[in-house]
Amino acid sequence: MTGRWHDGAGTTRPAPTVPPPEAADGLDVRAMADWLAGHREEIVADLLDLVGRESPSDDPGLLADLLAHLEDWVGRRLGAPEARTLHTAEGFGPVAVLDLPGHGDGRLVALCHYDTVFPAGTLEERPAALDGDRLTGPGVFDMKAGLVQCVWALRALDALGARRPPVRLVLNGDEEIGSLFSRPIIEEAAAGAAAVLVFEASVDGALKTARKGVGLFDVTVHGVESHAGLDPEAGASAVSGLAHVVAALDAGEDLNRGTSINVGVIRGGTRANVVAGHAAAGIDVRVSTRAEQDRVDELMRSLRAPDERVSVEVTGGWNRPVMERTAGVAAMYELARAVAAQMGVDLREQSVGGASDGNFVAALGLPVLDGLGAVGSGAHARHENASVTGMIERAAVAAGVVAAFG
């Protein structure tokens, strides 16, 4: 894959070149998988240890504790990084950027988040556990298994003496709440990369080659209060105004184009006998293309209430841009598919409605491979789980993809 891309700083450069699928023919992927399988117990122990350390997105203290542990663990597994940058901000989990040495000038970037949606104390009810091939516990699927797979993939290459490029590992602590703090850090870290590997969980075992863009909007409606029985005409109902807004948003949804508009929260008014002076709604929007994103933007700007005394204010915006299946994304998938085929695995791809930090770097025009993480199910749910066999397989796939750039 060749062409041109923008690095996010206004500079246009030649697009990175992804090795063709044929590059997998020169790799001994089975040896990588066998080496990883020989370290199965250590891999499982590492994951159980991470899952056993809580890291809810809204607890900066616990997040900082886990990040310190992660950096120590990465050092023990892969050696000291050539460079390290720590980014902190009040109210957010810290972000560490670790530059791991390798051969050549073409750096890869690996994106991993270590925060989870589960509140502190969840482990008391659902501790990390192993039952046969099945690992369970809060955050095991999304995405601590992927983080472990990333590190062990690199360790396998180093142990086997395989040539690999430098890898920049980004450990993000606020992905589950939208990466509000980490987004510019991620974009800066990825600038100039040959490719970006995202170790988010797979979807039914498939890689994610397209993700929807996510918009989070709030609509606030201001009306005029009055007594609903004595003087109804003096009032202008914010609730009625919001009802018209909701109808317009419902009409704007187009599932055939991959666009969903969900009015998930509504609140307003004070009492049944008072014409409502205030109402509000929280809205989640998912789009599959930038054209649909533009259309939704226009819809949001057009929202009005039929009573001119009622005002409508829209705030919020796009939390993550669309990740489209570009030529670079397709080339990364074909490379990974060829690597997996060396183990007799038919690696599938899928478009999903959820977003990740991969959306940010894909929007910069970089080749992205997402969904390299756990094989399992139950993201954000009580039954979250990951397959140990899947971890070995996908770590070997990741190792092969990295080696193809070496």
Render 94-153 in DSSP notation, one character per residue. Answer: -EEEEEE--SSS--EEEEEE--BSSPTTHHHHS--EEETTEEESTTIIIIIHHHHHHHHH
d(CA 138, CA 125): 10
- Kindly report, residue by residue over 87-136, the tens digit of the pLDDT: 999 999 999 999 999 998 899 999 999 999 999 999 999 999 999 999 99
Between CA 28 and CA 156, with CA 370 as vertex, the angle to 5 degrees is: 30
pLDDT for 17 equals: 86
Residue 295 neighbours by CB distance under 10 Å: 16
CB 155 within 8 A of CB 380: no
The domain over range 4-211+323-404 is classified in CATH as 2.60.40.1180: no
Q: Hey, which bits of 232-304 come out as E strands?
A: 260-268, 274-275, 278-287
pLDDT at 105: 86
- Which positions of the chain have pLDDT values less than 50? 1-13
User: So where are the chain's domains?
Assistant: 4-211+323-404, 213-320
Q: Are 279 and 266 in contact (CB under 8 A)?
A: yes
Q: How far apart are CA 397 and CA 344, in angstroms?
A: 11
Distance CA 20, CA 12 (A): 23
Q: What is the pLDDT of residue 243?
A: 98
**Structure token pair of residue 106:** 């073409």
| Rounded-to-10 torsion of CA 232, 238, 241, 245 | -160
> Where does 213-320 sit in CATH, by number?
3.30.70.360
Question: Which residue shows structure tokens 């509140």?
Answer: 119
Q: Are residues 314 and 296 in contact, defined by beta-carbon separation less than 8 angstroms? A: no
* Sign of the CA dihedral running 67, 73, 76, 82: negative
* Angle, vertex CA 269, rays to CA 264 and CA 270, nearest 5: 130
Q: b vs e for 80-104, b when ≥16 Cβ sit within 10 Å of the residue's Cβ?
A: ebeeeeebeeeebbbbbbbbbebee
- The phi-psi region of residue 265 (left if phi > 0; otherwise alpha if psi is between -120 and 50; otherwise beta) is beta
**pLDDT of the residue at 15:** 54
Cα(287)–Cα(290) distance, integer angstroms: 8
Residue 95: how many CA atoms within 13 Å on its side-chain side? 27
> Is-contact 168 158, C-beta < 8 A?
no
Residue 14 has a CB neighbour count (10 Å cut-off) of 9
